[in-house]
Structure 1
Amino acid sequence: MLEFPRWKYFVILLVVAVSVLYALPNLYPQDPSVQITPNRGFAIDDALNRRVEDALQSAGVSAKAVEKQDDNLLVRLPSLEAQTKANDALRPALGEDYVVAPNLASTVPDWLDWFHARPMVKGLDLQGGIHFLLQVDQKAALDKRVEGYLEDARVTLREARVRDQSVERRANNDIVVTLADAADVEKARAELGKALQASSGSASSALVGAQPLTYNVEGNRITIGLPESELQRIAGDAIEQNITTLRNRVNELGVAEPIIQRQGDDRVVVQLPGVQDTAEAKRLIGATATIEFRAVVEGNAAEAVRTGLVPPEARVYTLRNGGGPVLLNKRVLASGEQMVNARVGTDQNGLPAVDVTLNNVAGQRMFDFTSQNVGKLMSVVYIERVPQVTVVDGKEVRTVRVKEEALAPTRIAGVFGKNFQTTGLDKVEADNLAKLLRAGSLAAPMDFVEQRVVGPSLGAENVARGTRAVLYSFLFALLFFTVYYRMFGLFTCVALLLNLLMVVAVMSIFGATMTLPGFAGLALSVGMSVDANVLINERIREELRAGVPPLASIATGYDKASGTIFDSNMTALLAGVALYAFGTGPLKGFAITMIVGILTSVFTAVTVSRALATLVYGRRKKLKSLAI
């Protein structure tokens, strides 16, 4: 008697139910929409709704709905043409107070979202998306590194108890150290050599062709020269660190398979296929917000501003929210670059805060400082670069406004090192700052040189053609197998249909991106699923021709064909893994669909079709022939 365990039927039913649930969101089309995000200081309110409605009415656009979503205002529109018109009308109407960006809004019902069921992410070639071209300010990266050398030189001399007159930077980026006593030159030269060589990184043997810093001694003056190789390395490192940081920031957005690559000497291309929130993407990618921890210098800040007599070790900052000036030390105790982790928390009063973890070097520096300064004041400087675009003589001029604000100074209550908490931020700022610090700090500022929104019209045609190709391949297989294998051909077609359903469900669950090459992988998985069923059906026919009873032929056919199916699919699976590991772009999209299709086809061919055969023929003890 042909047998199949009941628990396997339960597993199959469970798999079918889960597949239907998580594939279902793909049937709901997305609404073309325009997303409006307020800049700091502005809000989503009734006045904004009226401004939006007036702008849409003036442009002759009728919106399907205008609704608030999280911290954004979403304008749903009936067509892509209406989306373009609305976007062009709202941008000048709202000005720089709000970020206006085209988007695709989900129409998936809330009850599906409760199960975290979401549609597959489509690639740039299927759904459209956003394309950024960013330019890296390499001069700012160089300035930042040289300023770091200057500060390291001052601190080194101070710790070595060597008195200096000045530590200055020349136009050619050389650092000139003038000592008060020429007798200290050799000691200062040795200490600076150890400190700066370690901080430059050029002492590392891993840097091929790197040259050490040069030191030229003349009387009581030491000139530290940065070789050309070091300057080039700083510029190159800035690009590479920015690319790594961008990848981390895009991961914070949850964008699947982004394209982030270098273009030329100082530009980076970022493509976000199937992006869900273009405003948030631009804000996070372009942001260079970070923080610096500085000690408060005692003195009357208002008087220093009035007279212009600022202590040499201090710099004047403005407290946020109009709190007046404050004197902070030029020495940075720790900065966003030295963060290991940052997450949003609350302080003792239940207000938003960011829990910060520093690396070991910065943690030790913070520990040394707080050990000697318990009871003194320390402040956090919040630095934000805001890109701005103005029109001058009919041409766009891009500038960047740097905004530096000091948070209210806090008293150091006790000694701490690498773990501490930053307070004084509101909820939105705490969330954004934690994301940026987790993603890493940009080595150099970046400006948006080009932004293109790729519309989904061409992608819609690709989706239609790809879907039609997969559908035709399935219908052809259905017709052929039904005619050639009769009842077992019907089993094959049911297994094939479930295979497609499972592929869509699995890719939706894991947020994989479906691209145009992905459709090719899907068609290939259909063919491989058919191949497995052909092996089973032909094995059953061989057993029948050998005179084996029908029920035994079914059992033997599945048992003997299963090993061959596993072996053949394993080699294809390894090829798919290799494509994914070593391929880029379209190859990865093809490999993902292929791998998922192989895994699901083995399950449907070996388990599902056998369950159907057992269900139909299992209890027929006097079975004399099979419809195969």
Structure 2
Amino acid sequence: MQQMPLWKRLVILVLCGWGALAALPNAFYTDVERHNDAAKEIAAAGVATEEQSADLALWPEILPSALMNLGLDLRGGAHLLAEVQVGDVYAQRIDALWPEVRDALRDLRDEVGSVRRQPSVPGVLRVAISKPEGMAAALAKVKALAQPVVSLTGVGSTDIEVLAEGDELVVQLSEAERAATDTRTMQQSLEIIRRRVDEVGTREPTIQRQGADRILIQVPGIGSAAELKDLIGTTAKLTFNAVIRSTTDAAAQPGARQRLVSDMEEKGLYYIIEDTAVVTGEELTDAQPAFDQNGKPSVNFRFNPTGARKFGDYTAENIGKPFAIVLDDQVISAPVIQSHIPGGSGQITGNFTVESSTNLAVLLRAGALPAKMTFLEERTIGPELGQDSIDAGKTAALVGMVLVVAYMIASYGWFGTMAVIALTINLMLLIAILSTIGATLTLPGIAGIVLTMGMAVDANVLIYERIREELREGKSPGRSIELGFERAFSAIMDSNVTAVITGLIMFFIGSGPVRGFAVTLLIGIITSMFTAVYVTRFIVETWMAWRRPKDIVV
């Protein structure tokens, strides 16, 4: 029997050893979780309390500490499905446009006469002029206010449509801008919710967009759905502050009525800023991605009248100096004031891409939710129910394991025992990979693990049946084993490829529990292929070299 090359044997041993180490923390889940929490808190604060030091000592630093995260159905927590009222944003945008339209038409007073805003449905601006013969000039003037749509699908389009109906101008957002606004509104809502939830230190929340205007929020470990709703409703703290200086010294001491804040993007960069804000996020009415006069991506922002006055006075007195845009005590941008910015509108320029300017606009608007959210579904799952789910999952996995082990040993004797050893290694590798990538384990995920155990021995069954066929044809034990592994490989590969395709379809088309099942299924297919084909052969070859049997019974 020709043995595997030495390098293959070493790779198999290294991978199995890594799997054992990486899966080990899950056997001491509570202690390792407390260790990880303490390490995170100490890193954030820079100092350790006595309790944190005790928790940190619960697990050796030299060992891996990554865990499989427990999902909502296993840990307990809150589930919300929220619908974002994106139509509110259209109305806000149009309302904010009215002063610009009014001021633009005032320049044509001789041609259009008096200008009055007329009642209309939300999201539509109707402006009546007293001299209908000046409608063409009014149309041209208002159309000049249009800006290009900043999105990949809206290239070549403008953000507003302007029409004439009798003696009225009708202004509304274009279809391309509505689509871009929907995307930005959902991004902003997701960003705000994520920041609010992360702030309280919850573990592995699920916050994702569903469909056109819905957001799924699942937060393990939180007390109730009502508590989660209150948390989401909290307003983020956005301020515009004067910058004293920047530094790379995390221990720099700010002066009186100053504070030290970190840069959100550049690690190791800090700013000393005035503690009193020039303006706050409550005075910011809008921020949108745009292009500057050179066609480069930028961000336009607008304050309300109170903020506009304060910001205009500040920029007039501080030309050439930076000011910091601070969100929850982190600087998201620190542009230099190029000129006096009157009127409450300004532009932030820099080395932006379209994506980064859009992200900055999202962060600037993250001081409050952009639109009202209606909660369509809310559930609270208690920790007792989560523990029941864990116990049920353990029972299912144990029963499945016992039945598979009993069948393999009853059918294939000692070779079945070797397959069971490989199956144990397969389960260990699966847990190790799930822990390393930070996957969240749910009840469907446990079902995927149980299914993987059955699929893993399928490959061994194919291999052993091929070995039996070779033995019946009178071939030697060593040659029969070698041919059995070689000739079963194509059938094993075909069956696993079809399973991978199925898993990929479930992952990309499905959502929630279906995707959790698909993740464990896909990883399980990979590990079962490895253990059935390579680990089992390694064990069999090692046994054959040690015992050198003249006859074998498979």
TM-score of the pair, normalised by structure 2: 0.67
Does residue 490 (structure 1) correspond to residue 413 (structure 2)? The answer is no
User: Which of these residues, 331, 337, 340, is aligned with residue 430 of structure 1?
Assistant: 331
Change (3 A) 1:349 1:564: closer
In structure 2, the residue matched to 1:625 is 551
Alignment of 1:559-574 (within 5 A): 559-574=486-501
2:76 equivalent in structure 1: 128
Q: Which residue number in structure 2 is paired with residue 187 of structure 1?
A: 137
What percentage of aligned pairs have identical amino acids?
26
Match of residue 530 from structure 2? 603
- After superposition, give the CA deviation of every residue in 1:124-163 in whole Å (9 maximum; x if it has no partner): 2222233346575667524421134325536766999999
Which structure carries more strand by proportion?
Answer: 1
Return the alpha-carbon distance in structure 1 between the equivalents of residues 166 and 75 of structure 2: 63
SS of 1:361's equivalent? strand
Give me the whole-angstrom Cα distance separating, in 2, the residues matched to 1:167 and 1:369: 32
Answer yes or no: is the 8 Å Cα contact 1:134–1:448 preserved in 2.
yes
- Tell me the secondary structure at the aligned position of residue 370 of structure 2: coil
Q: What is the match of residue 413 of structure 1?
A: 320
Q: Residues 221-620 of structure 1 correspond to what in structure 2 (within 5 A)?
A: 223-226=168-171, 241-248=184-191, 255=204, 257-258=206-207, 260-261=209-210, 269-273=216-220, 287=235, 343-344=265-266, 361-364=290-293, 409=315, 411-413=318-320, 422-423=323-324, 425=326, 428-430=329-331, 437=360, 441=365, 444-446=370-372, 453-618=380-545
Q: Say what the alpha-carbon RMSD is for the aligned residues.
A: 5.6
Q: CA deviation at 1:260?
A: 4.4
Partners of 1:262 and 1:144 lie apart in 2 by 23
Residue 601 (structure 1) shift: 0.1
Structure 2 stretches lacking a partner, 5+ long: 35-40, 242-255, 276-286, 335-355
Shift of 1:509: 1.2
Residue by residue over 1:597-622, the C-alpha shift from the partner in whole angstroms, topping out at 9 and shown as x without a partner, is: 1010000000001111111112555x
Aligned CA distance change for structure 1 residues 204 and 601 (closer, same or farther; 3 Å): closer
Rate the CA distance shift 1:5–1:257 in 2: closer, same or farther, 3 A.
Answer: farther
Letter of the 2:7 partner, please give it: W
Question: What amino acid maps onto 1:176 in structure 2?
Answer: V
Q: Which residue of 2 aligns with 1:38?
A: none
Equivalent residue for 1:13? 13
> Aligned in 2, Cα 1:147/1:365: closer, same or farther, shift over 3 Å?
farther
Q: What's the offset of the Cα at 1:198?
A: 6.2
Report the alpha carbon displacement of residue 107 of structure 1 after superposing the two structures with TM: 6.9
State whether residues 197 and 213 of structure 1, in contact with CA within 8 Å, keep that contact through their aligned partners in structure 2: no
Alpha carbons 1:379, 1:408 under 8 Å: kept: no
Q: SS where residue 571 of structure 1 aligns? A: helix
SS in 1 for 2:293: helix
**Change over 3 Å in CA distance of 1:137–1:585 after alignment to 2:** closer
Distance, in Å, in 2 between the alignment partners of 1:509 and 1:244 is: 28
Kept in 1: contact 2:163–2:170 (CA 8 A): yes
Residues 573 and 257 of structure 1: is their aligned pair in 2 closer, same or farther, counting only changes over 3 Å?
farther
* 1:343 match: secondary structure: coil
CA drift at 1:528: 0.7
Q: Of 163, 178, 181, which residue of structure 2 is paired with 1:214?
A: 163
Question: What CA deviation, in whole Å up to 9, does each residue of 1:353-387 have, x standing for no partner?
Answer: 9xxxx9873433999999xxxxxxx999699xxxx
2:441 alignment partner AA: M
Residue 425 to residue 206, structure 1, CA distance change in 2 (3 Å): closer
Deviation readout 1:567-587 (Å, 9 max, x if unpaired): 111111111111111112221
- Offset, 1:520: 1.6
Q: Which amino acid aligns with 2:530?
A: F
SS in structure 2 at match of 1:117: coil
- Contact 1:131 1:270 survives alignment (8 Å): yes
Given the two structures, how large is their TM-score scaled by the length of structure 1? 0.60
CA distance in 1, matches of 2:47, 2:478: 64
Closer/same/farther in 2, CA of residues 125 and 74 from structure 1, 3 Å limit: farther
